[in-house]
Amino acid sequence: MRRLGSNINLVVSAVLASPLRYAGGWYPCVAQIAGFLLVMAAPLSGCDESGWNNPYPEVEASKPILYTSFSERPKHLDPAVSYSANEYALISQIYEPALQYHYLLRPYTLVPLTAVAVPTVIYRDREGQILPVESDEKKIAFSDYVITIQAGIRYQPHPAFARSGQGEFLYHDLSPDELRGIQSIADFDHTDSRELIAEDYVYQIKRLVDPRSHSPIAEFMKGYIVGLSELAGELEGAKNKGQGLDLKRFSVQGAEILDRYRYRITLRGKYPQFQYWLAMPFFAPMPWEAVDFYYQPGLVEKNIILDWYPVGTGPYMLAENNPNRRMVLVKNPNFHGENYPGEGEPSDASNGLLTDRGKLLPFIDQVVFMLEREDIPYWNKFLQGYYDASAISSDSFDQAVKFSGAGDVELTENLKRNGINLETTVATSIFYLGFNMLDPVVGGGAKKARRLRQAIAIAVDYEEFISIFMNGRGIAAQGMLPPGIFGYQEGNEGINSYVYEWVNGEPRRKSLDEAKRLLNEAGYQGGRNPTTGQPWVLYFDTVATGPDDKARLNWFRKQFAKLGIQLVIRATDYNRFQQKIRTGNAQIFMWGWNADYPDPENFFFLLYGPNAKVKNGGENAVNYQNPRFDKLFERMRNMDNGGERFRLIQELQEIVRHDAPWLFGMHPKNFSLFHGWYKNLKPNLMATNNLKYQRIETVQRESIRKEWNRPKIWPLVILVLTVLALTLPAWLLYRRKLHATAF
């Protein structure tokens, strides 16, 4: 430190010793500048010739630390509130719901996490009598999930658990004096832990309707969990009366503690997808001590809040939370232990994903999330080895990936040479072009409008869109379901026969003539209004924020122009766009959905009539209504996966392909790059608690980083010499002027 400080002084003194003070002699000054430039760099390196540009402390080089980034600070880290991917990337390593997804197996399979086993649902009728599993859905009044958690699991060390010798909590009633030296959670001298119990899971369920939490799934869960709606009313009433909201005093009928390690969740009716919710942080345990601790006004003032400092039982705990710079997860010393999976897909063994089978998790000691707002610095630091993995932004796509003659994706030679690997996977998401079914032109179930929608579906060439705007990172959607979701069908049977035909073993978009024929059938001869002869005008509502959108919007115009239809772009900001969708004032728009869980219900519910956006504020943004679809959906959603369910799904697909309320756009493909030293990386689109499985070969990383990051001094020397050479004539000129005589 002293060495660094003294060199700062050198910097300052070198700058201050500017030419102004050395008017009598320039040469020493220039030499000093050269020396300054070289000296300036020396202290930055920690006396090591390599890694001057290392953004991390030198002592971390040989440690198993994973470096990743975030561009936008997470809004919430409270598991009752968090609902976005960047938040889950953190809290899923900390909070442990009862269930999790198997890391390697596909299709996605639920396995126990803190639970002893995946619970088996018990159905009951109105009288409370247990019904057989295969009972008629109409008879099922309640579904019970009894979950048994493992004994001996302990929370991470945390001041909320710390007690005095007399058994009183040390930090639950902090005085202003005690708060004075506290700036972060790490400033508390004492921490403690306690065992995870069933009550913590029930407590968290109550938090979903706590008026202080604003859980996004509160309204949704009120419709399922028995008594949750009533609890919400009680809590709201207590709050309005100014009473304390000690959730321990309140109970909810549908979330019952059976004993220290068992709890029961009771749902209204049948909802098999609920088991997936049990693997989400919304249903992770929350110790009441933490909530009591964090609601102290003195801590809230200092931003020490539950939404910012999680308390969990997971493999990691948040040791540093500075969203302005970095967030650091470190190993939880109390982690209950878990072993690397012993089984996977057939290809996993050959891909080295089963090398660590049975080993104790986690492998990585620390995970450092660095603030990195822009793509370019992130990408360059990845290439220098300072980030272990990277996505591929549009700016760096050509540097990273090339397409072979057969259309296959592969890494560029440069990246291959550096041992960088590429992993691609189709996301369980869909982007679609929605037709507002309430619109008098494109909407409704009439044949005319349907033909128009089908014609547009053929004309808008999404393969071209993917090629131009996505660098090939996506596949054109054939229906509502992306690959990996039960019911998705490949091959000829799985294509949208209204838009594609099967030719030479692959789907081929139907010709434009077919689209024009459909348009003519719809009464839009040549895309023109038969009365006025003017082109038909349709309106595309979209969020457009920058110049990059212009090309995309022009492309859409051209697609519609193929049919002679004039597309008017109504670009707006996101707020207005959402408002238009909510009120049904959009005509055609682009929208998307990312799966919450790997079940077809989570896609088909987007077209379920009672979920219509305008009428009921649901997720059916196109306000599609089809009684037959609704009826089939109601049957399909509560069925177990099997032949009958598969058949129903195909029937549902056929209905929406025929009615075309959506122009099925595409399923994006994720491309991720990672260095050779980053092991056990397998994309898992459902599980977010993956960091515990991953491993870093630290020795390999350290040596490669050194090799890649040797500072170059010679260009600086050349620069100084050039400056010297340019200044010399001026200096000579000055000397001549100084010594010149007046006459």
Partner 1 sequence: MTYYIIRRILYAFPLLLGVNILTFLLFFVVNTPDDMARMQLGEKRVTDEAVQQWKEQHGYDLPLLWNEEAHGSGKITETIFYSKSIGLFLFRFGRSDSGRNIGSDIYQRMWPSLAIAVPSLLFGLIANISFAVMMVFFRSTYFETWGGILCVIMMSVSTLFYIIFGQFVVGKFLQLVPISGYDTGLNAVKFMVLPVLTGVVSGLGSGTRWYRILFLEEVEKDYVRTARAKGLSEPRVLFTHVLQNALIPILTGVVVVLPTLFMGSLITESFFSIPGLGSYTIDAISAQDFAIVRSMVFLGSALYILGLLLTDISYTLVDPRIRLS
Q: Which of 73, 139, 580, 615 binds partner 1 (CB under 8 A)?
A: 73
Smallest gap from residue 58 Cβ to partner 1 (A): 11
With binding defined as CB under 8 A, does residue 72 bind partner 1? yes
Please name the residues in contact with 686: beta carbons below 8 A apart, sequence gap of 6 or more. Answer: 101, 108, 279, 428, 595, 597, 598
With binding defined as CB under 8 A, does residue 702 bind partner 1? no
With binding defined as CB under 8 A, does residue 58 bind partner 1? no
Using left for φ > 0, alpha for ψ between -120 and 50, and beta otherwise, residue 325 falls in alpha
Smallest gap from residue 51 Cβ to partner 1 (A): 8
Q: According to CB under 8 A, which residues from 351 to 370 bind partner 1?
A: 370
Q: Which of 30, 36, 54, 431 binds partner 1 (CB under 8 A)?
A: 54
With binding defined as CB under 8 A, does residue 730 bind partner 1? yes
With binding defined as CB under 8 A, does residue 718 bind partner 1? no
User: Exposed, middle or buried, 583 (CB in 10 Å: 0-12/13-18/19+)?
Assistant: exposed
With binding defined as CB under 8 A, does residue 4 bind partner 1? yes
With binding defined as CB under 8 A, does residue 85 bind partner 1? no
Q: Which of 43, 64, 157, 227 binds partner 1 (CB under 8 A)?
A: 43
* Binding window for partner 1 (CB under 8 A); candidates: 126-134, 374-382, 471-479, 528-536: 374-382
With binding defined as CB under 8 A, does residue 83 bind partner 1? yes
Other Cβ atoms within 10 Å of 571 Cβ, number: 15
Query: What's the start-to-end Cα distance of the chain, in Å?
Result: 60
For residue 341, what are the CA distances in angstroms to 96, 344, 358, 515, 521? 17, 7, 6, 51, 57
Q: According to CB under 8 A, which residues from 304 to 323 bind partner 1?
A: 305, 307-308, 322
In the complex with partner 1, the residue whose CB is nearer, 47 or 406, is 47
Q: Which of 28, 333, 734, 735 binds partner 1 (CB under 8 A)?
A: 734
Alpha helices in 251-345 (DSSP H): 274-277, 288-294, 297-301
In the complex with partner 1, the residue whose CB is nearer, 646 or 731, is 731
With binding defined as CB under 8 A, does residue 372 bind partner 1? yes
Cα–Cα distance measured from residue 557 to residue 22, given in angstroms and rounded to the nearest whole number: 67
What does the block give as tokens for 140?
A: 């099922």
What residues form DSSP beta bridges with 570?
541
User: Interface mask (CB under 8 A) for partner 1, residues 192-221, using x and -?
Assistant: -------------------xx-x-xxxxx-
Owner of token pair 């909510």: 582
What residues form DSSP beta bridges with 123?
131, 143
Q: According to CB under 8 A, which residues from 598 to 627 bind partner 1?
A: 617, 619
132-144: string of b/e by CB count within 10 Å (b at 16+)? eeeeeeeebbbbb
With binding defined as CB under 8 A, does residue 715 bind partner 1? yes
With binding defined as CB under 8 A, does residue 20 bind partner 1? yes
* Binding window for partner 1 (CB under 8 A); candidates: 16-24, 477-485, 499-507, 665-673: 16-24
* Binding window for partner 1 (CB under 8 A); candidates: 295-303, 346-354, 471-479, 648-656: 295-303
With binding defined as CB under 8 A, does residue 128 bind partner 1? no
In this structure, are strands 65-70 and 366-371 parallel, antiparallel, or unpaired?
A: parallel
With binding defined as CB under 8 A, does residue 292 bind partner 1? no
In this structure, are strands 99-101 and 110-112 parallel, antiparallel, or unpaired?
A: antiparallel
Helix-then-strand count for the chain, H and E = 25, 27
* Binding window for partner 1 (CB under 8 A); candidates: 41-49, 197-205, 664-672, 681-689: 41-49
Smallest gap from residue 481 Cβ to partner 1 (A): 18
With binding defined as CB under 8 A, does residue 234 bind partner 1? no
Smallest gap from residue 11 Cβ to partner 1 (A): 9
Other Cβ atoms within 10 Å of 241 Cβ, number: 7
In the complex with partner 1, the residue whose CB is nearer, 155 or 382, is 382
With binding defined as CB under 8 A, does residue 575 bind partner 1? yes
Please name the residues in contact with 66: beta carbons below 8 A apart, sequence gap of 6 or more. Answer: 364, 366, 367, 368, 388, 678, 691, 694, 696
Owner of token pair 């710390």: 162
In the chain, helix, strand, coil percent, each to 5?
A: 40, 20, 45
Smallest gap from residue 658 Cβ to partner 1 (A): 28
With binding defined as CB under 8 A, does residue 295 bind partner 1? no
What number of residues does the chain have? 743
